Structure 1
Amino acid sequence: MQLPLPVSLPVDETFDSFVSGTDTELVTLLQALAYAVPDWRDASLFQGVASLKLPMVTLLGSAGRGKSHLLYALCHEIAARDIPHVYLNLNNAEAWPANAFEGFETLPLVCLDNIHAIAGNKTLELALFDLINRVVESQQTVLVCTSRLGPSNPAFVLPDLRSRLSWGVTYQLHALSDEARKTVVRNRATARGLRLSEQALQFLLHHSERDIPSLINLLDRLDTRSLQEQKKLSVNMVKRELGLY
């Protein structure tokens, strides 16, 4: 088996930095899973959370719901225990060969981000179908995927793959409330050492794109501006960055 080159995951995308909102059960499951791999078949490790039944978990939801964040967090926990695993972002899969997933069923954990990106690519759909079958047969691997498309979505052209994607546990991630969004931005600002006034925070949330990636991107730009101007983040600074005057 030839593993892909290691991927550098965002160091601040951890379970501690994830604001779960109404998705607490999913976060609890993934945290339990991080400490259960490779002994995921021990049901006692999953008391109080959904049964795994099959070694596959799918995180489902539209962009900006935190699916990738949770995969990164899971990988960080596994890496800290020196457990072999692999993370792949299928947004980059267009030119991958048919054997892209070969041998993954021997690893304790496989994380596949954005599997919707291969929908319609029969070669890679078949490769994923075969991987799921091997994972279930080997009983050595936990497979955790994220997708914007539900398992029965006809964009996946192979009926057998749609069937396999319905196996295991599927969780729908929900949009965060306004208060939870505020917590995300405030926590990220604090982690960066940024001084963000409550007025600036409120203005930012009400005058920018509301999805979390856009908010974090804006915070990064404000971080740069704050360093350049040697000032804390103010309403006026947010206005200038947003081009509102």
Structure 2
Amino acid sequence: MDTFTSQLPLPVTLPTDETFESIIDKGNQEVVTLLKDVATGMPQWRDEPRLVSLASLHLPLVTLQGGSGVGKSHLLYALCHQLATQQVNHIYINLNQHAQWSLDIFDGLENLSLICLDNIHAVAGITAWEEALFDLFNRVIENPGALVVGSSQLGPSHPKFVLPDLRSRLAWGVIYHLNTLDDDSRKDVLRLRASQRGLKLSEQALQFLLYHSDRDLRSLLGLLERLDTRSLQEQKKLSVAMVKRELGLP
């Protein structure tokens, strides 16, 4: 996967191929349109007529909710890529990696235009992190220029969140439930990503790949990345036989 080091307050590497242009938004058009409007309206997003509903929230928080592999992180990456090109102050934090950081990672973030918090559910049940997140949300409320866009596999009322005040704050925002892509949409995503890599993915190879591997999108894209590497190493075109070799199938 090609990567670049984004110009964010926290050093982080985001996948370059996960942009708005590479999103297949079937079933999720509303939230994709919203996030594009957010990007267009930055940094003065409160003045954007299409974002009046966000501006009216007591806590300006958009949460993308859904299971693994439905595209939550892709949308956050795409938003950050767009803001990087516009030189808008923002940050992306993957809370799956919270064990690597101290709680002061949230200090001062309310002064940014956009705060992207991926995998909020990862800190559910960890009191110190829940309190730090609650404090950040309170500071965002006091700073009307900041907007938070997060993702979570859990809803705000889920019992894994132990701090009642945090559950309350999470519910103050707007929640978008992402729909799982159907098989035709998964195929469209794989064709698009293969094309971006310069790979020609035949219908036979596509069918085999889809029905002989994990079906969540993140796993499928990881497999496509490995096939790209194998194709370069073997100097061969992507084929059903190559997919079988990568999957260890006879």
Which TM-score bucket, shorter chain as reference? over 0.9
Matching of residue 168 in structure 1 with residue 169 in structure 2: no
1:216 corresponding residue in structure 2: 221
Q: How many residues align?
A: 241
Aligned counterparts of 1:51 and 1:107: Cα–Cα separation in 2: 17
How far apart, CA to CA, are the structure 2 residues paired with 1:212 and 1:152?
27
* 1:66 equivalent in alignment to 2:71: yes
The aligned runs of 1:20-31 (5 Å cut-off) are 20-31=25-36
User: For the Cα contact (< 8 Å) 2:9–2:90, is it kept in 1?
Assistant: no
1:101 pairs with 2:106: yes
Which position in structure 2 is the counterpart of 1:78?
83
Paired position in structure 2 for 1:227 = 232
Does the CA contact (< 8 Å) of 1:38 and 1:108 recur in 2?
yes
Is 1:94–1:118's contact at 8 Å kept on the other side of the alignment?
Answer: no
1:131: which partner in 2? 136
Cα RMSD (Å) of the superposition?
1.6
Q: Which residue of the other structure, out of 193, 201, 208, is the alignment partner of 2:206?
A: 201
Q: Offset at 1:51? A: 4.6
The percent identity for this pair of structures is 60
Give the structure with the larger helix fraction: 2
Q: Aligned residue for 2:196?
A: 191
User: Which structure 1 segments of 5+ residues have no match?
Assistant: none
Q: Distance in 2 between matches of 1:216 and 1:58?
A: 24
Contact 2:64 2:176 in 1 (8 A): yes
What is the SS of the residue equivalent to 1:16?
helix
Deviations 1:66-114 (A, max 9, x none): 1111101001111111111111111111253333211111111111111
What is the distance in 1 between the residues matched to 2:49 and 2:66?
29
1:131-170 correspondence to structure 2 within 5 Å: 131-170=136-175
TM-score, normalising length: structure 1: 0.93
Task: Report the Cα distance in structure 2 between the residues aligned to 1:59 and 1:71, rounded to whole angstroms.
Answer: 9
1:53 Cα deviation from its structure 2 partner: 2.6
Unaligned runs of 5+ in 2: 1-7
